[in-house]
Amino acid sequence: MRAWFERHTRIAALALLSLGTFAVPSARAQQDFYKGKTIRLIIGQAAGGGYDTYGRLLAPYLTQFLPGQPPVTVQNMPGAGSVLMANYLYAQAPRDGTVIALGGGSIAPAALFGAAGARFDSRRFNWIGSMNSEKGVAVAWHTAPIKKASDIFEREFVVGGAGVNADSVIFPNAVNRVLSTRFKVVSGYQGSAEMVLAMERGEVQGIGNWHYSSILANRPDWLRDKKINLILQLGLGPHPALPDVPTVMDVARTDEEREVLRIVFAQQSIGRPVLGPPEMPDDTLALLRKTFDTIMRDPQFLADAAKRKIEINEPMGGADSAQVVDRLYAAAPALIKRASAAVNPGGAGSQN
């Protein structure tokens, strides 16, 4: 019996040693993968806006924390509310982890809601993490007649928007269809930077959905000097700094309206997602996720963000971001249909 035990113990030890021998090259390959390579970080919005600000904050920290310290170049690929970028990432970008992207949370339900031009299945992207849980705000220029939430039910509110799939367009239009508000969206602006200029010039009275984090980063003086009025928060809950500004959930009139709005605004929880193309190697995805999580907790990164007034609010890891997407697609078909009709009346609302 003793001889049998010793013989099998030696066999088990050899098996473990063998496993360890095979594991070492894999770990080493993971650590060495980015050495000598360059990462391209594609931003799905125009230069000068909020997404661009977040992407350019993140890029040098990716270089700092990834093994091999690969340089990261930032490329803007605006169009249709990050859909142009998402299409490229889905079908054309290299799958090896040298191209990743940062776009809007609207990527998650785009195909589900039948968004124009969306040729991707969000469930197949490799979600690396989200830098922020966003709180959107409908804002009015200080000279506009719109001063409070009740005004948007009683009079027309002309607001600027980006592409047809951008949340600055789909959110106010969805609120119109669900709550009978009177946003009039003038779309076609290349991101928030152009919308801000349009508001200053008087082309529009406000912006239908502007991320509060972008206001803090790019126009904090407007908050201080009361150049803008914050009318309505477009998200599932309030921002901690805005307890007196009502949310869409506050002004919803029925439980059915609230259920539809929960589907429409679920994407706000992954407001600034970083993602990779389908079919990335598992070890590369794991490395990128681990690096992203490390950056989001790094004191130097957080201090840098605070100095630039860039809000890092409830960042989310890659696995949790992917779960948000999966839950959207798993919602009751009837509810998806109603939410899709609110976001995109001409869309198919397909779950494929």
| pLDDT score of 125 | 98
Inter-CA distances, 71 with 43, 174, 209, 273, Å:
16, 41, 34, 20
* Ordered DSSP codes for 213-277: HHHHHH-HHHHHTT-EEEEEEESSS--TT-TTSPBHHHH--SHHHHHHHHHHHGGGGGSSEEEE-
pLDDT at 10: 44
Separation between Cα atoms, residue 110 and residue 82, nearest integer Å: 10
| CB atoms inside a 10 Å sphere around CB 200 | 12
Residue 69: the pLDDT is 96
State residue 31's pLDDT score.
66
Mean pLDDT of the chain: 87
Q: Which ranges of the chain would DSSP assign to H, the alpha helix? A: 2-32, 50-65, 83-91, 151-154, 167-179, 192-201, 212-218, 220-224, 248-251, 255-265, 282-297, 299-307, 318-329, 333-343
* Interval 113-148: pLDDT, tens: 888 889 999 999 999 999 998 889 999 999 999 999
State the pLDDT at residue 213. Answer: 85
Which of these ranges, 6-15, 49-58, 236-245, 282-291, has the smallest mean pLDDT? 6-15
Residue 151 CB neighbours (<10 A)? 19
Q: Are 229 and 204 in contact (CB under 8 A)?
A: no
Neighbouring-strand partners of residue 139: 207, 230
Q: What is the arithmetic mean of pLDDT over 10-31?
A: 43
Gap between the Cα atoms of 204 and 201, Å rounded = 8
Order across the sheet with 273-276: list the strands: 72-76, 39-43, 99-102, 273-276, 126-130, 316-317
Residue 247 has pLDDT above 80, yes or no: yes
The model's confidence at residue 208, banded by pLDDT at 50, 70 and 90, is very high
pLDDT at res. 18: 38
**Token pair belonging to 152:** 């948007």
User: Residue 308: pLDDT above 80?
Assistant: yes
* Res. 299: pLDDT tops 50: yes
Amino acid, single-letter form, for residue 291: T
Q: What is the pLDDT of residue 172?
A: 95
- Please, which pLDDT band fits residue 190 given cuts at 50, 70 and 90? confident
pLDDT band at 257 (very low <50, low <70, confident <90, very high): very high
In sign, the C-alpha dihedral spanning 244, 248, 254, 259 is negative
Residue 334, pLDDT above cutoff 80: yes
Quick one: average pLDDT of 159-173? 86
pLDDT score for 149: 96
Q: Which domains does the chain have, with CATH numbers?
A: 32-133+270-343 (3.40.190.150), 136-267 (3.40.190.10)
CA dist., res. 161 & res. 194, Å (int): 9
Residue of 321, 325, 328 whose CA lies nearest to 130: 321
Which pLDDT band, with edges at 50, 70 and 90, does 218 fall under? confident
- Predicted confidence band at 162 (pLDDT cuts at 50, 70, 90)? confident
Q: What is the mean pLDDT of residues 82-99?
A: 96
Which pLDDT score is estimated for 3?
45
What is d(CA 160, CA 205) in angstroms, rounded to the nearest whole number?
8
- pLDDT of residue 6 exceeding 60, the answer is no
